[in-house]
Chains A and B, each alone.
Chain A
């Protein structure tokens, strides 16, 4: 069982950068720390063999262990100010859309000191009804409940007021769409309490301040808030509405007029009252959400931001665990670019934290770069698919067998979710941050993403080829300038998530003589966005037909961080075939299959790849994942979707299992030919084509591909083909393509006809 976890404040670093390592132990009082260079993290008996190379560092040794806590739960915090602290009478109003109204007390807007029972708090009570509490900090507390529990996922306008002069407390609960018994207006006298306590804590929304607690706040709210306001007078809802009808209320009326439709790309919360009571969101609640007034006429928040004035809060959001560092060190100039890992050991447990060390700034130390798919690692961070998804066992084709990491994730929701999961209220997780322990990016863990990519590292080590390591986050920040330092760039097994900046940089690289090897499957699939200011935070919107575990809210398909349409790149009009020649065709996790060479493998343009290989052989009829090189998630060429007309499809896989099924975007209407057992379109393609300026692209179309490299101690046709391609791609000799008979006429088939309903050989087929 896991006894130690941790994280670094960086994944990518270059010499001179300072790294902070945060650690938490569960039981052991001490832990050991050290550094290794990663060669192969796959420790399965049938794998290539686990291999790490210890690196001596001055900070290696024993450290005291401790358990650090995670402050999950999102909310808004507005710093205390004179204008907020001095109010006595007040009116507080907000639109609320509760997703779990019966999950106990949940704060909506509060300036409340729990220890002193001072201030006010508008909340959902334990019974699910709205309530207002006031306290004078001297022992007098009054509260008032609407007495009518809120219905889940319905908008209500709540207005509460307190008149210090009369002691009158009032609360109005007004549903947006009238339903029998849902409206409520209650009023009471508070008795002897005539002064609202001057609570000095920040004002909060969607949580109560709780400075003495582990998470700083408590009483987290699940759901959306829109248009919260605070007036320094006791008003009823109608009077407040009248005052706001001009669009600019009198300055003496409101001390807080928070407009969530502003600053939607970041963490800011803007106060339009003129008092400057601006706030910030904590733990990345969802922005660019439909507000109470969304009328369905617009689906892009940039076009009608006033209809997207809601923030969706979750009690399990987490952006930064904020742990105290246990180790701090600077990357020495002497470290070569490579994948390293901080090795942490406690009790009988070991945890590895990856560190991708780049060459010194603005330099390359090899003509070859491995682009680590950190955006994908981030999207999957702490994925609980196999723990939460009912059909997970059906998809795997065997009983679910959990490793220590998954058993830990089942018990520790507080370390945050992945973008494959849903929040506790059922809504999809859109954001993932690496500033928290991530159990899915270690060595000796399940062979997927990062750990599967170490098969490629092991093969490069076996060849004795030097390479630099760069990451998606580096590409996002530096663009083409980063790629252009290299003659050849290679991916890992699963480069699934791409931001627009990353995509554009790669497209430009291919237009400027770059050579690119896509060595996995399901790549270039989802459009993602990095946070505009926070490093290491990714956003996804799971919209449209796609392989996905939750479905995006209609009307919220546009990313908050950039405003771009989210979803598949294919649905954004840029299929992966336009970038790398192939794109996702099918997924299946029970077993893998092999490729068969096509007639195109005999083309003179492909001769360099096939030295020492007979095209009569099955390609990759072996491998440590499912027994074949084509498996898990596979990609195929499709000229209708943008595979370049001169691309050579040198091999295609066949004989897939009934569990290898078309990806949803490849289906128009269901029929009985949906799997690899029946439909020959369920296949992976190995593709090669030349680009302009002497460049070229090689793509293999399978996540399982690299798990075949080490078969028979690297003496096999997958490893041979790869070595042939890579050596040629590293040669300065330009690739030249002269259009001739090979140039395939662009097909006339519509892009809207997906593979599952296209017969082989038909126009647009492949």
Chain B
């Protein structure tokens, strides 16, 4: 089965440059691997100020339980949030942090706005 190569920083850079795609096949494969999994402990975003501000959340995988919010991780930009969650998942899957290995991006706030 496909495993993410922790040395493929080129894939990380490719994702970082276009967090909402379109993605090359290799990047897409990496993203699918990071996104595949159950709802339990899944990182999500919860909008706290409509179209303006989102908070990092974690699902419990159980019904009727509030989404656990991490109010220390707030975003005014969906692309920035996507990048933050990507970094966390990358570390979880590969065991290696991206800190110091890639530069932090600066996204335009309109990126990702054409979603419903």
Contact = CB atoms under 8 A, between A and B. Distances in A.
B69 to A, nearest CB: 9
Contacts of B85: 399
A401 interface: yes
Interface string B13-51: 000000111100100100010011111001111111011
Contact of A452 (B32, B36, B116): B116
Kindly list the 8 A-B residue pairs having the minimum CB-CB distance in the complex, ordered from nearest.
Answer: A401-B45, A447-B116, A413-B64, A46-B113, A400-B44, A393-B35, A402-B46, A411-B66
B21 A401 contact: no
Nearest to A657: B22
Interface in A399-447: 399-404, 407, 410-413, 424, 444, 446-447
Contact of B45 (A402, A624, A627): A402
Contacts of B59: 387, 410
Contacts of A16: none
Nearest to A46: B113
A634 B112 CA distance: 21
B67 A407 contact: yes
B54 interface: yes
24 contacts: A44-B51, A44-B113, A44-B116, A387-B59, A390-B37, A390-B38, A393-B35, A398-B78, A399-B44, A399-B81, A401-B45, A402-B67, A403-B47, A407-B46, A407-B66, A407-B67, A411-B66, A413-B63, A424-B63, A446-B116, A624-B114, A625-B115, A626-B114, A632-B116
Interface of A: 1, 43-46, 387-391, 393-394, 397-404, 407, 410-413, 424, 444, 446-448, 452, 590-591, 623-627, 632, 657-658, 707
Given A391-B36, A410-B63, A657-B22, 17 more contacts: A1-B48, A45-B51, A390-B37, A390-B38, A394-B32, A399-B81, A400-B42, A400-B45, A401-B46, A404-B47, A412-B64, A413-B63, A413-B64, A444-B50, A591-B21, A627-B114, A657-B21
A393 B46 CA distance: 14
B78 to A, nearest CB: 7
Contacts of A412: 64
Given A390-B39, A398-B20, A657-B22, A46 B114 contact: yes
Contacts of B51: 43-45
B113 A45 contact: yes
A624 B116 CA distance: 8
A407 B28 CA distance: 28
A101 B43 CA distance: 32
A265 B10 CA distance: 60
A45 B65 CA distance: 31
Contact of B116 (A389, A448, A658): A448
B1 to A, nearest CB: 16
Contacts of B44: 399-402
A657 B20 CA distance: 12
Interface string B66-95: 110000000000100110010000000000
- Candidate in B28, B78, B82 with the most chain A CB atoms within 10 angstroms: B28
B115 A398 contact: yes
A447 B67 CA distance: 22
Contact of A399 (B32, B36, B43): B43
Interface in B88-116: 110, 112-116
Contacts of A407: 46, 66-67
Contacts of B113: 44-46
A401 B47 contact: yes
A397 B21 contact: yes
A44 B25 CA distance: 30
A45 B110 contact: yes
Contacts of A391: 36
Contacts of B67: 402, 407, 410
A11 to B, nearest CB: 22
Interface of B: 19-22, 25, 28, 32, 35-39, 42-48, 50-51, 54, 57, 59, 63-67, 78, 81-82, 85, 110, 112-116
A657 B57 CA distance: 28
A444 B112 CA distance: 18
Nearest to A392: B39
Given A446-B116, A591-B22, A627-B114, A410 B47 contact: no
A444 B47 CA distance: 13
Contacts of B19: 398
Contacts of A624: 114
A615 to B, nearest CB: 26
Contact of B57 (A402, A411, A452): A402
Contacts of A387: 39, 59
Nearest to A42: B116
A44, A448, A632 pick with most chain B CB within 10 angstroms: A44
Nearest to B40: A390
Given A398-B82, A402-B46, A411 B64 contact: yes
Contacts of B48: 1
Contact of A402 (B38, B47, B81): B47
Contacts of A657: 21-22
Contacts of B116: 44, 446-448, 452, 625, 632, 707
Contacts of B50: 43, 403-404, 444
B110 to A, nearest CB: 7
Contacts of B54: 401
B47 to A, nearest CB: 5
A398 B112 contact: yes
Which of B44, B48, B57 counts the most A-chain CB atoms under 10 A from its CB?
B44
Nearest to A403: B47
A404 B52 CA distance: 13
Nearest to A444: B50
A314 to B, nearest CB: 13
A239 B54 CA distance: 67
A288 B5 CA distance: 53
A388 B64 CA distance: 11
B54 to A, nearest CB: 6
Contacts of B42: 393, 400
Nearest to B69: A407
Contacts of A632: 116
A403 to B, nearest CB: 5
Contacts of B43: 399
Nearest to A703: B116
Contacts of B28: 658
Contacts of A399: 43-45, 81-82, 85
B58 to A, nearest CB: 11
